[in-house]
Amino acid sequence: TLKDAVFAGSFDPVTVGHLEIVRRLGDVFDRVYFLLAVNSDKHCFFTRQERLDMMRAASAPMPFVVVDYTDGYVYEYARKKGAVLARGVRNADDFAYERVMADNNHGWAPEIQTVFLMADPALRDVSSTHARDLILSGKIRDSSLPPVAAAYIAAIPDLEERRRTFGKQ
């Protein structure tokens, strides 16, 4: 039986929805690798270090969490850790996307299982994209952000400059 799970994403930024999935994974698995993974299709607002810092701060009360980073394939990371891949699913669109990803991962690493957790209905509208859009519009204190992440974001020295220039590169 597998005792560890890998929950990977770009977490730009980490949200209360992500943390809810991590917490629930901790009810089932001994260890959860909360993995920041590179997604070449995404242009992130926050730096890798900022995202890792927010993930560590937000998951600090969960002793079963290991925050880590990979610039490789997530299935290879899971293979090295002997872990399942865990994915949070908010709606049918998420499921369709995640099913394709699970099928691809199965093709590359058939020994790696993927498990899906449905999002808490109260958090189904929470997404990093929505949180980032709010941050870009100047709203940081939002219910979709863990308070420690909101405080971290508010303290970023060049936040205003980044807001003005994000997406214009």
Catalytic residues: 18, 42, 90, 128
- Answer positive or negative: Cα dihedral of 108, 70, 154, 45: negative
Phi-psi region of 65 (alpha: psi -120 to 50; beta: other; left: phi over 0): beta
Which segments of 29-123 does DSSP mark as H helices, in order?
Answer: 48-59, 74-81, 92-108
Q: Which of 38, 47, 62, 64 is nearest to 152 (CA)?
A: 47
- Answer positive or negative: Cα dihedral of 84, 90, 95, 98: negative
Backbone angles phi, psi at 167, to 5 degrees: 85, -5
